[in-house]
Structure 1
Amino acid sequence: MAEEKKSRLFALKPIIERWPAVSKPEGHVNFRTKILWTLLCLILYYILTNITIYGLQKQYIDLFANYRFIMAGASGSIMHLGIGPIVTASIILQLFTGAKIIKLDLTKKEDKAIYQGSQKILVIVMIIVEAIPQIFGYLQPSDAFVASVGGWASTIIVIQLVIGALIVFFMDELISKWGIGSGISLFIAAGVSQAIFTGLFNWLPVGGGVLSLSNPPAGCIPGTFYIATNANLGELVGGYYQMMFIGNSSFQNAIVPL
């Protein structure tokens, strides 16, 4: 019987064997250790979502700002890309393997190791592919930042996006080996929870600055309370009832949409 031809991905084996990775635990990991690593990664995730990209102009374009939490991202932060590159790389490899374009038998230990290693390399590629287009018309550097670093401004923004996505990638691997469940699922749940919490309880003004009826608290509960207690009957009938329940461009976390 002729020897089965191996996939060309085996050419990446020397790279995969030297690729940095989170070491597997030797033996059983107790529940307390799993909880500890999971909580540490979760806290780090929340911290990173609140670190704004250095040098980014205040007014930037993000077409998916309201949906970025679904991919565990945070608009304008170093977690801007979220788990997007990880998910994209996984889907591409699954499609190619399922369609037999990539000939790997995942029931074999060696083939599975090549598959997982190739996925890690593809994640890095997708991080770069998704980070670079962000600086073309979307995440633009501020004028002051451009004046201080010159032509490197956009490159520095891309580097920050890459670093943020790499941290997510390694935290996902860390949780999968040392924590509880899947890091991807955890970060999605964390992103959705954060969006719901801030959408409900954020007391900061929508547009920054001083609170006013045209610039109420961004959260649904404090915003509704502020409008209801500060608008007179004529103002409520004149449009603020609609603003509380349906919302508008300046107050999106209204009761019905939320």
Structure 2
Amino acid sequence: MLSTLRNAWRVPDIRKKLIFTVLMLLVVRLGAAIPVPFMNKDIISSIFNSSQGGILQFLDMMGGGTFSSYSIFAANIYPYITASIIIQLLTIAIPKLEELAKGGEEGKKKINRYTRYGAIVLAAVQASGYTFGLFRQALETTNIMQTIIVILSMVAGTAFLMWIGELISERGIGNGISLLIFIGIISRLPSDIINWIRLVSIGQMSAITLILFGVVLLAIIVFVVALQEGERRIPVQYAKRVVGRKMYGGQSTHIPIKVLMAGVIPVIFSSSLLALPQTLALFSQGGVTQWIEKYLTPSGNVGIWIYSILNILLIVFFTYFYTAVQFNTVEYSKNLQQHGGFIPGIRPGRPTSDYLNKVVNRVVFVGGISLAILATLPTVMSKVFDMNINFGGTAIIIVVGVALETMKQIESQLLMRHYKGFLK
């Protein structure tokens, strides 16, 4: 990894993209320190201090600490992610959206526009829930215009994050939205480590427990890397054909079926959906919030198991869903047949499509279940060992997965530059 970064830094074009990406992420972290106006920060701090875990800490972890400081990025990028989930699921149900999704670059632009509109609406709903629900005691507005400014500040923060994410994807290195989540998560890691060390030093946490938890986290990182890099290779043979006086084909290759074609997207989508009912609970106080905290969050004795089961099911579902979107076995079979390719022992056409579908389903099942278990294991362990762990399994998988995907993009950029050099 270090040698790849060193080689990338020597290429002026890639160096500019790396610098641009780092500067954009720095802007995001600076923006996270800008508070929302007309909100009493002392009251917000007292609400967090009295909560002692639960919904608030979970949402703060998902937001990278912007929730507890109630900055303009308090709603974070998750309204955009939720909107993209809704739009992509609607493309299956609504024929017009499906046509747009298959309509090339112009169709994708329209889909992205609808996603942005949906994200703005969800951000406004989320900002209203925070301001008029949980933190209504901290609201210090004297007229309707000041109240509108509070909501608009948070909606503008989400819109700004969407813009930064798209800029990084277009002009920088890596997926912009994933990197925004990545930087938010790792920003909490140093304070968590310091807190664990402090708890061990004062005797509130066993050193053996901390070491055991560290070993589990290291094992999860190793397994995530193995899952990301693992693939099933299906052999492909191309038939020989004569065109004029030349003979083409006859070579052997393979189809790489990745264990995790969807990457960390299933984990991000699952965590976003599981945070949705907790966000909606902030509209009201009392029984509804207590019920959701007890049954739908990792802080509840019953909720830890319900949350874990739902997390596993959603991760497996989105793994299958995104793999089906990315790898269409019918289209792949047709393209293979048109170019004279075939899988040894399998007839071209429908049998090839069925075989590919069977292999993909088996590989994706293993990858989805493994990913779901790895995402849930630290959450369950933190409850069993009674440890206040903000940096859970979902966060680890997102951080490792985004880092791997970004490194692969850097490597592909380097490879493109080498090919250009050979062509010259």
Q: TM-score range by the shorter chain?
A: 0.5 to 0.7
Query: Using the alignment, how far apart are the partners of 1:255 and 1:194 within structure 2?
Result: 23
Which range is displaced more, 103-112 or 187-196? 103-112
Q: Where do 5+ consecutive residues of structure 1 fail to align?
A: 1-28, 202-218, 228-240, 247-251
Aligned to 1:44: 27
AA paired with 2:60?
R
> Which is bigger in relative contact order (C-alpha 8 A, separation at least 6)?
1
Secondary structure of the equivalent of 1:66? helix
How has the CA–CA distance of structure 1 residues 70 and 92 changed in structure 2, closer, same or farther, with 3 Å as cutoff?
same
Q: Which amino acid aligns with 2:108?
A: K
* Structure 2 residue corresponding to 1:132, chosen from 109, 128, 132: 128
Superposed, 1:131-170 pairs within 5 Å as 131-140=127-136, 142=138, 145-146=140-141, 149-170=142-163
From the superposition, tell whether residues 116 and 137 of structure 1 become closer, same or farther in structure 2 (CA, over 3 Å): closer
Residue 128 of structure 1 and its aligned partner are, at CA, apart by 1.8
Cα deviation 1:177-201 (Å, max 9, x = unaligned): 0111112211111121112112123
Residues 99 and 40 of structure 1: CA distance in aligned 2, closer, same or farther (over 3 Å):
same
Cα distance, 1:170 vs structure 2: 0.6
Aligned to 1:59: 43
Residue 101 and residue 92 in structure 1: after superposition, are their counterparts in 2 closer, same or farther (change >3 A)? farther
Aligned length: 189
Q: Which residue of 2 aligns with 1:6?
A: none
Describe the SS at the equivalent of 2:72. Answer: coil
1:174 aligns with 167
Displacement of 1:68 after TM fit? 3.2
Distance 1:37 1:48 in 2: 16
Output the CA distance in 1 between the equivalents of 2:162 and 2:27: 13
AA paired with 1:66? F
CA-to-aligned-CA distance 1:30-50 (integer Å, 9 cap, x gap): 212211221111111111222
Q: What is the CA–CA distance in structure 2 between the aligned matches of 1:95 and 1:43, rounded to whole Å? A: 33
Matched, 1:196 2:179: no
Name the stretch that deviates more: 83-92 or 121-130: 121-130
How many Å separate the matches in 2 of 1:135 and 1:55? 11
Instruction: Kindly indicate whether the alpha-carbon contact (under 8 Å) linking 1:82 and 1:168 is maintained by their aligned counterparts in 2.
Output: yes
Paired residues of 2:165 and 2:177 also in contact (CA < 8 A): yes
Give the equivalent residue in structure 1 for 2:119.
123
Say whether the 8 Å CA contact 2:32–2:71 is kept in structure 1: yes
CA distance in 1 between counterparts of 2:149 and 2:185 reads: 29
Deviation at 1:174, TM superposition (A): 0.6
Deviation at 1:153, TM superposition (A): 3.8
Letter in 1 for 2:84: S
State the distance in 1 between where 2:22 and 2:144 align: 39
CA distance in structure 1 between the partners assigned to 2:169 and 2:189 by the alignment: 26
Kindly indicate whether residue 94 of structure 2 is the aligned counterpart of residue 100 of structure 1: yes
Q: For 2:79, give the aligned amino acid.
A: P
Q: Which residue of 1 aligns with 2:205?
A: 244
Q: Output the CA distance in 2 between the equivalents of 1:161 and 1:101.
A: 34
Amino-acid identity (%)? 25
Q: What does residue 113 of structure 1 align with?
A: 109
Q: Where in structure 1 do 4 or more consecutive aligned residues deviate above 4 Å?
A: none
Aligned residue runs from structure 1 range 203-222, under 5 A: 219-222=195-198
Does the CA-based 8 Å contact 2:61-2:188 persist in structure 1? yes
2:17 maps to amino acid = K
Question: Larger strand proportion, structure 1 or 2?
Answer: 2
Q: Residue 184 of structure 1 corresponds to which residue in structure 2?
A: 177
**Amino acid in structure 2 at the alignment position of 1:97:** T
Deviates most, 109-118 or 40-49: 109-118
1:83 CA displacement:
1.0
Q: 1:84 to 1:140 in 2, by over 3 A?
A: same
C-alpha displacement of 1:173: 0.8
Q: Distance in 2 between matches of 1:72 and 1:163?
A: 18
Contact 2:168-2:175 within 8 A present in 1 as well: yes
Q: Is the 8 A contact 1:73 1:81 kept in 2?
A: no
Aligned to 1:17: none
Q: Say which is worse superposed, 188-197 or 48-57, in terms of deviation.
A: 48-57
1:199-247: per-residue Cα shift (whole Å, max 9, x none)? 123xxxxxxxxxxxxxxxxx2224543x3xxxxxxxxxxxxx3x3349x
Shift of 1:125: 2.1
Structure having the higher Rg: 2
Distance 2:116 2:143 in 1: 33
2:50 maps to 1:74:
no
Task: In structure 1, give the amino acid aligned to 2:34.
Answer: I
